[in-house]
Amino acid sequence: MKKTAFILIVIFLSISTSCNDEKITELNTRIAELETENQKLTDSISGIQYFRVLNSKVFGSANRPTFQAGKENKVTFEFYNTEKIREYNVYQLSADGKREKLIHNGLTENGFEYSFVPRKKGLYKINLLTVFDTGNTQFGEIEIPAHMTLNITE
């Protein structure tokens, strides 16, 4: 009788272990499927954010028709959308279009102010670059230029 009971216990444990192995394999397969699906969703969201920023425009607006040489003047630049946007930096560009100076760092608002002091009268060109780090190595940085020409008088 002891021998029969021992054999029944061994058979029961074998079946029980076999069922647990199947369940564990099934759960591991489901976890892998969910991780793949999650990565697709993450990539999709990154893509949507990328194209939203890529299709943005920056507009400069002046509160008066002319500005004075030798005095500080300000103009406002705004993105053409009303949604909160991802963090970006603003650089002043050199004459050859290279990043010259960081003006604003870590902005998240749809607009920013740019202060300048022109040295002489005539046309004054503002050349800025907004730079968004997408946080995704596939997309990298997005650069959106912001240009404006103003009339400077004495």
97-153 per-position pLDDT tens digit: 899 999 999 998 878 888 888 888 889 899 999 998 887 777 788 888 988 888 888
CB atoms within 10 A of CB 111: 13
- 4 plus 20 within the same structural domain: yes
Range of the domain at 33: 1-55
User: CB of 67 within 8 A of CB of 151?
Assistant: yes
Q: Within 13 A of 101's CA, how many CA atoms are on the CB side? A: 7
The percent of residues above 70 in pLDDT, for the chain, comes to 81
Give mean pLDDT, residues 73-86.
76
What is the Cα–Cα distance from 8 to 136, expressed in whole angstroms?
58
Average pLDDT of the chain to the nearest whole number: 80
- 18 plus 50 within the same structural domain: yes
- 124 plus 66 within the same structural domain: yes
Number of separate domains in the chain: 2
Q: What pLDDT is stored for residue 131 in this prediction?
A: 92
- 25 plus 81 within the same structural domain: no
Write down which residue in 55, 78, 95 finishes a domain. Answer: 55
| 0.95 surpassed by pTM | no
State both tokens at 117: 């002091």
- 99 plus 119 within the same structural domain: yes
- What angle is formed at CA 98 by the lines to CA 62 and CA 131, rounded to 5 degrees? 65
